[in-house]
Amino acid sequence: MAESYDVVVIGGGAVGENAAGRAVQNGLSAALIERELVGGECTYWACMPSKALLRPGEAVAEVRRTPGAREAVTGSIDVAATLGRRDQLASHWDDSSQLKWLETMDVAWYRGHGRIVGERRVVVEDAEGSRRELEANRAVVVATGSRAAVPPIEGLPEAEPWGSRKATSAGAVPASLLVLGGSNTGLELAQAWRRLGADPVTVVDQNDRLLPALPDFAGELLGESLTAEGIDIRLGGSLTRVARRDNGAISAVLDSGEELEAAELLVATGRKPVTDNLGLEEAGLSPGQYIRVNDQMRAVDAAGDWLYAVGDVTGRNLLTHMGKYQARICADVIGGRETAAWSDHWAVPGVTFTDPQVAKVGLTEAAAKDHGISVRTVEHPFGAVAGAATQGEGIKGRCQLVVDADRRVVVGATFVGPGAGEQLHAATIAIAGEVPLERLWHAVPAFPTLSENWLRLLEHYGL
Ligand SMILES: Cc1cc2nc3c(=O)[nH]c(=O)nc-3n(C[C@H](O)[C@H](O)[C@H](O)COP(=O)(O)OP(=O)(O)OC[C@H]3O[C@@H](n4cnc5c(N)ncnc54)[C@H](O)[C@@H]3O)c2cc1C
Ligand SMILES: NC(=O)c1ccc[n+]([C@@H]2O[C@H](COP(=O)([O-])OP(=O)(O)OC[C@H]3O[C@@H](n4cnc5c(N)ncnc54)[C@H](O)[C@@H]3O)[C@@H](O)[C@H]2O)c1
């Protein structure tokens, strides 16, 4: 006899949890199926532990920028304390508090592998092999996330490289680190382990520049900072061969023929969807692909109207906060509200939590032009306001606003500088709220704060 819920969510990462919780808040009954730890990658092996590894280095750099405070830093980062704090922020890889939250929210949870076995029907199989069948009166929501994609490089699997899971949960600092893939994962973890003592740290990426989807200055400024602290960045190439030597060291051959050696190799070359062994064929979908969704998060290629997908598994903005936004939209749609995930296209915020941080929301100049928008951009040095001077010496960086010149609203913003991520939400509000420049002009930034960058940018625009 199947147990029956309005909504059955497969995958209990941050996104699945939010979909189930919001469904209950909307007056529906919901069940969540998770085969590993409720909380998913973000909680245990991605966002939280990586930020915990970065924070001590960032805090020390902040203090070192400030005369009077810098003299108080006489030692080096305490690795054991950093890893201890990391373990704490990763909830010691224990999901009991997440389970408590589900219970408080009245979400039923099942530990096991979820698989669709027919229209609105899902089977959960636990580790012992016992099976329970769940029936979804209204919808099945797939929130099974993503896993690391490993490129086909000779010797790579046998060399047992680090993936993001190992690189965020390691119990000791590697003597040296080679990072393949220089995007958010690779750059954050390269800097984290460098500042914790790995030396040398080398980053290899096939692109000709860092962060190519952002304005040029973002990758350039970040690259300069990382290079200055001893991270060797090799762009425009990859590895052709990898081996782990008898002494445990990694040997890697670049496509230029040069051989690099490191204690560990981190592979951070992107993600692929977790859609295998999920029974997607029951809804007419192919396994192994991202699940295409519309702005109501309904799986557009699925037969019927009962299958939804949210989070990384959709391939749309692989970011926790965007997945959670999709989850809220999805649960509202299932609950009968008319709504759409339009922010997914126009106002996606993202922060690379390196030092300096790279924070961007909305469209770049190039993307805005592609959308036929008549664009004007304005820029200002991040550190050229009194708020930066009070924070310390030598604060560098850049800010940029992308403005729709016809509608006189901001459509994109990028900030590069220490702590730039905290500047971002003002831009997200301006973009999502379509606040006219004439109105923004009256949003006065307090003195002396870094937010005065907004005033300078608007002055450059001519206000
Ligand atoms: C190193 C790193 C750092 C990151 N830092 C950030 C950051 O700072 N900010 C940010 O916004 N994003 C960050 N991200 C991205 C973020 O981690 C993901 O976008 C987010 O985890 C996606 O959440 P999700 O719930 O969709 O998927 P996941 O977190 O992958 O969760 C999916 C869950 O589904 C479960 N599951 C899969 N298949 C089944 C099945 N058949 N049955 C039952 N359960 C199943 C899995 O066990 C998993 O728990 C980072 C990513 C990495 C790799
Ligand atoms: N702070 C954050 O919000 C944060 C942090 C980490 C990850 N994430 C998200 O997680 C997702 C995955 O991030 P990611 O950095 O792991 O992957 P990614 O797909 O963003 O970047 C992968 C990088 O690897 C490079 N690459 C791929 N194959 C290669 C090869 N064979 N040789 C050399 N280089 C190669 C690519 O050029 C690219 O720069 C992204 O959506 C990202 O935004 C977010």
Q: What is the domain partition of the chain in residue ranges?
A: 3-37+94-147+272-344, 149-269, 356-461
Distance CA 307, CA 122 (A): 12
**Of 32, 29, 37, 3, the residue nearest 17 (C-alpha):** 32
Is 91 annotated as belonging to a binding site? no
Mean pLDDT for 271-286 is 96
Distance CA 171, CA 154 (A): 28
Please give the distance, rounded to the nearest whole angstrom, from the Cα atom of residue 257 to the centre of ligand 1.
Answer: 36
Mutate-to-test residue for ligand 2 from 153, 156, 183, highest number of ligand atoms within 8 A of CB:
183
Nearest-CA residue for ligand 2 atom 28 is 269
Mutate-to-test residue for ligand 1 from 43, 47, 293, 344, highest number of ligand atoms within 8 A of CB:
47
**Would you say the CB of residue 124 lies under 6 angstroms from ligand 1?**
no
At 1 the pLDDT is: 79
Whether the domain at 3-37+94-147+272-344 and the domain at 149-269 fall into the same CATH topology: yes
Half-sphere exposure of residue 67: CA atoms within 13 angstroms, side-chain side:
4
The residues, ordered by sequence, that sit 6+ positions from 228 with a Cβ below 8 Å of its Cβ are: none
**Of 155, 181, 163, 162, the residue nearest 238 (C-alpha):** 181
At 453 the pLDDT is: 98
Inter-residue contact 356 to 398 (CB < 8 Å): no
**Would you say the CB of residue 50 lies under 6 angstroms from ligand 1?**
yes
Is 182 annotated as belonging to a binding site? yes
- Convert the pLDDT of each residue in 408-449 to its tens digit: 999 999 999 999 999 999 999 999 999 999 999 999 999 999
3-state secondary structure at position 429: helix
| Rounded alpha-carbon distances, angstroms, from residue 377 to 216, 337, 442 | 13, 37, 20
Q: Which CATH class is domain 149-269?
A: alpha beta
Nearest-CA residue for ligand 2 atom 32 is 238
Give the position of tokens 């680190």: 177
Nearest-CA residue for ligand 1 atom 53 is 46
The CATH code belonging to domain 3-37+94-147+272-344 is 3.50.50.60
The ligand minimizing its distance to the Cα of 123 is: 1
Is 275 annotated as belonging to a binding site? no
| Rounded alpha-carbon distances, angstroms, from residue 203 to 69, 176, 266, 355, 444 | 32, 12, 9, 16, 41
At 29 the pLDDT is: 98
H or E segment at 437?
helix 437-440
338 pLDDT higher than 90: yes
Is 145 annotated as belonging to a binding site? yes
Please give the distance, rounded to the nearest whole angstrom, from the Cα atom of residue 217 to the centre of ligand 1.
Answer: 29
At 133 the pLDDT is: 98
Please give the distance, rounded to the nearest whole angstrom, from the Cα atom of residue 162 to the centre of ligand 2.
Answer: 14
**321 CA: nearest ligand 1 atom:** 11
**Would you say the CB of residue 35 lies under 6 angstroms from ligand 1?**
yes
**Would you say the CB of residue 13 lies under 6 angstroms from ligand 1?**
yes
**Would you say the CB of residue 350 lies under 6 angstroms from ligand 1?**
no
Find the residues whose C-beta lies inside 6 A of ligand 2. Answer: 151, 180-186, 188, 204-207, 238, 268-271, 318-319, 350-353
Residues 356-461, CATH architecture: 2-Layer Sandwich (3.30)
**182 CA: nearest ligand 2 atom:** 39
Distance CA 1, CA 9 (A): 19
Mean pLDDT for 355-365 is 98
Mean pLDDT for 356-362 is 98
Nearest-CA residue for ligand 2 atom 18 is 270
Q: What does 36-99 look like in DSSP terms, one character per residue?
A: S-TBHHHHHHSHHHHHHHHHHHHHHHHHHTSTTTGGG--S---HHHHHHHHHHHTGGG--HHHH
Please give the distance, rounded to the nearest whole angstrom, from the Cα atom of residue 431 to the centre of ligand 2.
Answer: 26
Distance CA 213, CA 364 (A): 8
**Of 315, 289, 316, 286, the residue nearest 303 (C-alpha):** 286
Please give the distance, rounded to the nearest whole angstrom, from the Cα atom of residue 41 to the centre of ligand 1.
Answer: 4
At 296 the pLDDT is: 98
At 2 the pLDDT is: 85
What share of the chain has pLDDT > 70, as a percent?
A: 100
Q: What is the ipTM of this complex?
A: 0.99
What share of the chain has pLDDT > 90, as a percent?
A: 100
Mean pLDDT for 261-269 is 98
Is 223 annotated as belonging to a binding site? no
